Structure 1
């Protein structure tokens, strides 16, 4: 018992979650600016680099959380929840970076309206993820717990909207696109963008579990 009192306790996990959430929002913002300014090569490259920078910063936060888990004896929430949440958050930025790189590697010349729509929904999901994560330190307050659940429900609705947009986009793509190469390119990009909202929903589901167990 005396030994356990000497071991590290708590740690700044919530601060690191917030830092990672800020990078998610920054990466999503840069991605949206990139596709909105896609016809300008200079701006496209600038915002693509900002997406990469946000992803690298988030990777450092993820690594620090995982290191801290090994050093901390008593954590503010369950260790499995911490590990699952930070890695699910990291998946979001990985997908933003992957989609950014795919646009370049596939030499996509123009951005269809569906990409803009899916990008916007993804960015809104990312913003709500950051908000939900920011509420975690105050879950003992019932009103904060309710606000977190509400934000997670918003993410679920946005993910459903993204599903509908992607189904419509795929239908149009297979009906109207005669160039097989362009079809393959856009199909991959649509799927990656829709996966971003899926990963945001994964984070929302994890946060809902944390709220229910710790509120």
Structure 2
């Protein structure tokens, strides 16, 4: 009979492997947000590359499979959704490197929430086959991290556009960046040059950090999306 009906691939195990990798990548992502260490950044990128390989292998297996243990479309959506989490961790690290931004309390908080969401997905997919109702609880936990991230994001934006907060928390690196802008204000006196340079530095900081904050908020959306896929699967099989 095996020659007529090929063995069904263990997609539960394959999705679990993807979740394990997402947990590993977001854990390193959290570490990166402690100090923007370049070696840690490379580890995030390496794990994301492993994720691409695993995703491609799972997609190929899905396309060739005669049958699947759950709806084929749900397997596809799960594979893609879990991989997106790694993609956003990688993209955030790359943005911070290009923009030469140091982590702050908000990026640390959002990275931690992304990791917690990945952990919830890992637990949910791990018990999906044997205990789908418990998997639903983990799916809900993953979705809640997106709502928590949105609160952090709004708070971060509020502080970002607060000039008083910027002055109070100005780092030496930010001060050097502002001082470097003096070349743009050569016709002004020293006091005016300092004021304009600081103002332009403030605006540049807003633009750069807002981009990173927005990207991390979108990453949280991907965690929630994976939680929604898990929820949909449970609704069909429970």
> Which structure is larger by alpha-carbon Rg, 1 or 2?
2
- Equivalent-residue separation in structure 2 for 1:149 and 1:103 (angstroms): 34
CA contact (8 A) 1:14 1:137 kept: yes
- Equivalent-residue separation in structure 2 for 1:195 and 1:48 (angstroms): 20
Structure 2 unaligned segments of length 5 or more: list them: 167-198
What displacement does 1:119 show? Answer: 1.3
What displacement does 1:5 show? Answer: 6.4
What displacement does 1:12 show? Answer: 2.2
CA contact (8 A) 2:33 2:104 kept: no
Match in the other structure for 2:124: 132
**Residue 173 of structure 1, aligned match among 156, 160, 180:** 160
- Equivalent-residue separation in structure 1 for 2:72 and 2:154 (angstroms): 37
- Map residues 1-215 of structure 1 onto 2, 5 A cutoff: 6-38=4-36, 44-108=37-101, 110-138=102-130, 144-176=131-163, 177=166, 178=199, 179-215=202-238
Runs of 4+ in structure 1 displaced over 4 angstroms? none
TM-score of the two chains, using structure 2 as the length reference: 0.80
Give the count of matched residue pairs: 202
- Equivalent-residue separation in structure 2 for 1:111 and 1:73 (angstroms): 47
- Equivalent-residue separation in structure 1 for 2:123 and 2:218 (angstroms): 20
TM-score of the two chains, using structure 1 as the length reference: 0.88
Give RMSD over aligned pairs: 1.6
- Equivalent-residue separation in structure 2 for 1:133 and 1:55 (angstroms): 20
CA contact (8 A) 1:28 1:96 kept: yes
Structure 1 unaligned segments of length 5 or more: list them: 39-43, 139-143
Deviation larger for 175-184 or 192-201: 175-184
